[in-house]
Amino acid sequence: MITVTQVKNDEEVIAIMDIAESQIEALGFTEHSVRHSSLVSRWAGDILEQIGAEPRRVELARIAGYLHDIGNSVNRDDHAQSGALLAYKILTRMGMNYREAAEVMMAIGNHDENEGLPVSDITAALIIADKADVHKSRVRRNTTRMSMGNLNIHDRVNLAAERSRVAVLPETDEILLEIAIDTELCPVMDYFEIYFRRMQLCRRAADFLGKKFGLVINGTRLL
């Protein structure tokens, strides 16, 4: 069976992900490179593993997490849909059975907050993992030299984010996203201005998994 390690080492995947990141960089978006994809892959798998999903579902979540942004190689607009089709083509070419490849395709096609919905456990885990990655390392080096007032709101929020983590808490039956933000660089309200819709989708994703969704910023519970 195809594993996430095989996917990461596939020459076609490497080439497409490199092109995807070059386009995102040219457009001036925050980082969507192997760092982001690897983290989302790990978190998506961890979420399913911690709620007791079967090992193969966990592995498929890791694969979906790693490939979820390859559609950026085509265009940023509708990247979830183009990425889903690319992933299906790649995975079936590698020998993955059609059913599993279709599961990954569906998850990738639904990960974006503009048109996505949690329609499977893999999709739900991918949504939460993707939206949880808020961190200063995602800001381009050339933008960090600019004053905070000249940065767009996405860069300001990410530059102010010292750390983020997502975890399943069995004692409270919830999936918790914890973020530390330097409020001298960016007020917490800026986070909600751009992430409110994403947090709504995370809540729906957690509901699909039979969990509550919680958000804690700087030690204060906000959801």
Beta strand segments in the chain, E: 161-169, 174-181, 212-217, 220-221
3-class secondary structure, 208: helix
pLDDT at 191: 81
Instruction: Give the whole-angstrom CA distance, residue 39 versus residue 33.
Output: 10
Instruction: Give the whole-angstrom CA distance, residue 14 versus residue 28.
Output: 21
DSSP state of 70: G
Question: Above pLDDT 90, what percent of the chain?
Answer: 70
**Residue 57: how many other CB atoms lie within 10 Å:** 20
CATH class of 4-221: mainly alpha
| Confidence label for 145 from pLDDT (cuts 50, 70 and 90) | very low
| Confidence label for 31 from pLDDT (cuts 50, 70 and 90) | low
Decide if 187 contacts 159 (C-beta within 8 A): no
Residue 168, pLDDT > 80, answer: yes
Mean pLDDT of the region 52-81: 97
Mean pLDDT of the region 104-114: 96
Looking at every residue in the chain, the average pLDDT score rounds to: 90
Residue 122: Cβ-neighbour burial (10 angstroms; 0-12, 13-18, 19+): buried
Mean pLDDT of the region 70-92: 97
pLDDT at 13: 98
DSSP state of 71: G
List, edge to edge, every strand of the sheet that includes 220-221. 161-169, 174-181, 212-217, 220-221
147/120: higher pLDDT: 120
pTM, whole model, 2 decimals?
0.91
